[in-house]
Structure 1
Amino acid sequence: MSIGKIKVQDFLARLPLFNDVDPEELDHIAESTTELHVPRGQQIFRRGDPCVGFHTVVYGQVKLSFVSPGGSEKVVEIIGPGHSFGEALMFMEKPYIVSAHALADSLLLHVAKSAVFDELQRDPKFARKMLAGLSRRLHGLICDVEAYSLRSGAQRVIGYLLKEETPADGDQIRLEVSKNVLASRLNLTPEHFSRILHELANEGLIGVDGRNITIFDIERLRNYGG
């Protein structure tokens, strides 16, 4: 099985979950892996659908979200290349509790539950890796809850801007998703998110041009609202 010129086994072997799996077992897992080419905006699964495996992103972006009783969308997570989703519900044998949509043209791999369970029975180290991955996901969710509870909206936005970057004054950061999606991810309304960007711009900390954010004063930005 191949992804263009790349074998599925080669891609799976790069994932932390599979990087110590024997080639023969990796072949078995690859045989139970399906490629999904998902155009931007298309739904991958909906809340309530059965979970019969987990997905990993080769390229593109996936949004995990649900709709509140009031009808508004809450973005739970944005999944990028090299990351996976759906493992916890696969083990619980429960239906999906969120919906998934492609934010960009994406290529996903769906690894069947049967192949994962076979590998778990064969190799205890694989089980430990699965537990480690799920623990990291849980830790991230706890950090999100802490941020929503204890940090201001401005601090959440700044934390997002600086989370994976070490920018200097004059550097530019491009938002990976639309402002509406990002606002929901940060537990803000789109209007509040826009007000925060304007506030930071008026303070001379950043410049805003569509999705492009220019850092003007990194030290003041880090300490803003603290």
Structure 2
Amino acid sequence: MQKGKIRVQDFLARMPLFNELSEEELDRVALGTTQQQVARKEMVFHCGDPCTGLHAVVYGQIKLSVTSPLGEEKVVRLVSPGDSFGEALMFLGKPYFVSAQALSDSLLLHVTKAAIVDGLRTDPDFACKMLAGMSARLHALMRDVEAYSLRTGTHRVISYLLAQKGEPEPGCEEPGRRVLLEAGKKMVASRLNLTPEHFSRILHELGTRGLVTIRGREILIPDPSKLEAACAY
């Protein structure tokens, strides 16, 4: 695991939530921020633990999940560098309703509720940005509910692949691009509310139709427009 620390203010200044704060305001937020190194598979918190602030991911990846009484896990969200989690529950004073686990060695920032409240009192724009961030999360949650309820598994997989950041595929004519699954197939399947077997079958079917080429976690999309058009069928 990386052992190096970072200058908290520099990282916060690059986050959409904090990037318009003055140096003095960033200094105040930094005073209420601690750096937390988490090893792969280590738990950040468990469902039911008290929420005392928000977390931001500096490097690594965090899985947010819920577990059924039968022990079945559902991945709610995968949190990547530069993103944060825990804002809404922090204000509600409620315990976490998900568990958070590191999928790789990670460095997190934990910003206390007191530091956030201080920022809200001194900067109205900060309050608006906080609301915008939580609204975006709610919108994403509603999109997920709509997808689980109304879209087929194939549509969910196609939408997921097209939403991933891709790179041009060397030697492939435009508009071909290559995407890397943000986690293992089992994890992504849970995120899409699919069984791993169903997820693999859909990828295989898309590959048979020439819409994708599968290379482990790497997926080549020869023509994204054709893949998108497949949602109509």
TM-score past 0.5 threshold: yes
Amino acid at match of 2:26: L
Cα distance in 1, alignment partners of residues 84 and 121 from structure 2: 21
Match of 1:126 in 2: 126
* SS of structure 1 residue aligned to 2:51: coil
Cα distance in 1, alignment partners of residues 160 and 143 from structure 2: 13
| 1:181 correspondence with 2:206 | no
Contact 2:162 2:224 in 1 (8 A): no
Match of 1:61 in 2: 61
Q: Which runs of 5+ in 1 are unaligned?
A: none
Amino acid at match of 1:144: D
Cα distance in 1, alignment partners of residues 38 and 49 from structure 2: 17
Amino acid at match of 1:67: T
Cα distance in 2, alignment partners of residues 16 and 132 from structure 1: 10
Question: Which deviates more, 43-52 or 214-223?
Answer: 214-223
Contact 2:51 2:90 in 1 (8 A): yes
Contact 1:61 1:81 in 2 (8 A): yes
Alpha-carbon offset, residue 118 of structure 1: 1.6
* SS of structure 2 residue aligned to 1:70: coil
Identity %: 60
Deviations 1:5-45 (A, max 9, x none): 74110111111111121211211110110101111111100
| 1:220 correspondence with 2:229 | no
Question: Which deviates more, 118-127 or 211-220?
Answer: 211-220
Match of 1:190 in 2: 196
Match of 2:50 in 1: 50
Cα distance in 2, alignment partners of residues 94 and 139 from structure 1: 21
Contact 2:175 2:224 in 1 (8 A): yes
Q: Which runs of 5+ in 2 are unaligned?
A: 169-173
Match of 2:171 in 1: none
CA 225–119 in structure 1, closer or farther in 2 if over 3 Å, else same: closer
TM-score, length basis structure 2:
0.91
Divergent runs of 4+, >6 A: none
TM-score, length basis structure 1:
0.93
Amino acid at match of 1:62: I
Cα distance in 2, alignment partners of residues 18 and 171 from structure 1: 33
Contact 1:87 1:134 in 2 (8 A): yes
Match of 2:86 in 1: 86
Cα distance in 1, alignment partners of residues 115 and 222 from structure 2: 50
Cα distance in 2, alignment partners of residues 57 and 89 from structure 1: 17
Cα distance in 2, alignment partners of residues 112 and 82 from structure 1: 17
Match of 2:114 in 1: 114
Alpha-carbon offset, residue 140 of structure 1: 0.6
* SS of structure 2 residue aligned to 1:96: coil
Alpha-carbon offset, residue 219 of structure 1: 3.0
| 1:74 correspondence with 2:74 | yes
Cα distance in 2, alignment partners of residues 26 and 120 from structure 1: 12
Alpha-carbon offset, residue 164 of structure 1: 3.3
Match of 1:172 in 2: 178
Contact 1:204 1:217 in 2 (8 A): no
Match of 2:213 in 1: 207
Alpha-carbon offset, residue 169 of structure 1: 5.4
Contact 2:51 2:86 in 1 (8 A): yes
Amino acid at match of 1:95: P
Amino acid at match of 1:202: T
Cα distance in 2, alignment partners of residues 113 and 5 from structure 1: 22
Cα distance in 1, alignment partners of residues 176 and 231 from structure 2: 21
CA 205–87 in structure 1, closer or farther in 2 if over 3 Å, else same: same
